[in-house]
Structures are given as C-alpha cells and as structure tokens.
C-alpha cells in the first residue's frame, strides 16, 4: 500500500463521514459545516489526481462560495439555532435500508464490471488547456455547453431577482 492509496482512503473517509454527519445532524448549522468537510475532501481527491485547477475551482466555488451562501441563508431563516425534528422511526429505518442496499447493489455491480482502459491520449488538465477547450469548437471543445450554462445563470439570476424583490405579505 503506497502513500497515494492511504491518502485516497483517508480523503474518502473525510468525504463520506462528513456527508453522513451532514445528513444525520439535528442542528442545521452543523450540517452545513459538515458539508464543508465533505467538499474539502473532494477537492483533496482532485489534488491527488493532480487536477490542480479543478481542485482550486472546487475550493473557490463550493467551499468558498456555496457553503458560505448556505450558512448565510441559514442565518436569515427563523430558528437556525434550534434542533430539527426527529424523523419518524419507521421512515428512518427504511431510508437507512434503502441507502445501504443501494450502496451494496451498486458496489456489487461495479465490482463485477470489467472496465476497459481507454487508449486515447490523456489531455493535460492545465488551466490553459481547460480554458481553450471551453472556447473551442473542435473536438473536445465545449463552447456550446459553456454558452448554455451562461444562459442558465442569466435565467437563474432573473428568477431570483423577481422572487426576492417583492416583500411578501402573508395570506
């Protein structure tokens, strides 16, 4: 077992543990913080794969942006400090069973699957390359998805403004 393998299992433990705690914690603020650990772990995985740029994006966008937004919106809602309701026992049991069985099934199938290694030349994951691929129309060019995402962001922005601009009067 080399260092990379040990690191992989350590990071996976952080990701899965963080995820599990985020789902099971009774305080919503703590859930957000556990989510943070999970997302940092994913950035660590990218570093391990030597995808430095993606890892940096993961940290800047998810850790720096999204979790902070989530924490802000938790503070803006009522009762952010209180405990959340306990789920009904039977529901907890069944969702636990569904999660465990789903994991087991997927694991079995993945283990059985013979993955074929691609012969295609690897693409250098440098920021430079990623940038030019995003704006290229040739093979491995992603300009169309890039533009569609920008439309999506525009629509989301407008939708948020429309909803947030007006003060709601409760019916």
Partner 1 sequence: MGTEFLLVMKSEMILTGIIFLLLILKVWDGIKSNTSLLYFVNILLLANFLWGFCCNTEGSLFNGMYQTNELIFLEKSILNLGTFIISLFAFDYLKENDNTLEFFILLLCTLLGMDFMISSGNFLMFYLGLELSSIPLAALCNYDLHKTKSSESAVKMILSSAFASCILLFGVSMLYGTTGTLNFSEMAPQLSTSKLQMLAFLFIFSGFAFKLSSVPFHLWTADVYEGAPAPVTAYLSVISKGSIVFIFITALYKVFPNFEHTWYHVLYLSILVTITVGNLFAIRQDNIKRFLAFSSIAQVGYIMLGISSTSIMGISAAIYFLIIYTFSNLGVFGVVSLVSSQTGKENINDFKGFYTNNKFASWVIAICLFSLAGIPPTAGFFGKMFLVTAGASKGDYLLVIVAVMNMVISLYYYLRLVKAIFIDNNDQPIASLKGSLPLRLALIICLAGVIATGFVSGLFEHITTLAGK
Minimum CB separation from partner 1 for residue 83, in Å? 22
End-to-end CA distance of the chain: 63
Minimum CB separation from partner 1 for residue 165, in Å? 8
* Residue 158 structure tokens: 């407008």
Q: Binding to partner 1 by residue 106, rule CB under 8 A? A: yes
Is residue 140 within 8 Å of 123, Cβ to Cβ? yes
Minimum CB separation from partner 1 for residue 135, in Å? 12
Q: Binding to partner 1 by residue 110, rule CB under 8 A? A: yes
Binding to partner 1 in span 141-160, by CB under 8 A: 141-145, 148-149, 151-152, 154-156, 158-160
Minimum CB separation from partner 1 for residue 27, in Å? 21
Is residue 37 within 8 Å of 63, Cβ to Cβ? no
Q: Binding to partner 1 by residue 23, rule CB under 8 A? A: no
SS3 78: coil
Stretch that binds partner 1, among 12-20, 76-84, 125-133, 135-143 (CB under 8 A): 135-143
Q: Binding to partner 1 by residue 121, rule CB under 8 A? A: no
Q: What is the largest CA-CA distance in the chain?
A: 63
For Cα atoms 52, 23, 104, give the angle at the middle one, nearest 5 degrees.
Answer: 80
């Amino acid at each position: 077992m080399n260092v990379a393998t040990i690191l992989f299992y350590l990071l996976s433990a952080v990701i899965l543990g963080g995820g599990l705690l985020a789902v099971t914690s009774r305080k919503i603020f703590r859930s957000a913080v556990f989510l943070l650990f999970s997302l940092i772990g994913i950035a660590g995985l990218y570093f391990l794969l030597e995808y430095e740029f993606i890892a940096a994006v993961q940290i800047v966008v998810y850790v720096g942006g999204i979790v902070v937004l989530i924490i802000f919106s938790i503070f803006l809602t009522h009762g952010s400090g209180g405990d959340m309701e306990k789920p009904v026992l039977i529901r907890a049991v069944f969702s636990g069973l569904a999660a465990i069985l789903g994991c087991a099934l997927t694991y079995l199938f993945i283990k059985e699957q013979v993955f074929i290694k691609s012969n295609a030349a690897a693409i250098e994951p440098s920021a430079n390359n990623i940038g030019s691929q995003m704006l290229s129309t040739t093979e491995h060019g992603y300009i169309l998805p890039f533009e569609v995402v920008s439309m999506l962001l525009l629509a989301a922005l407008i939708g948020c403004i429309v909803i947030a601009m007006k003060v709601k009067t409760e019916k």
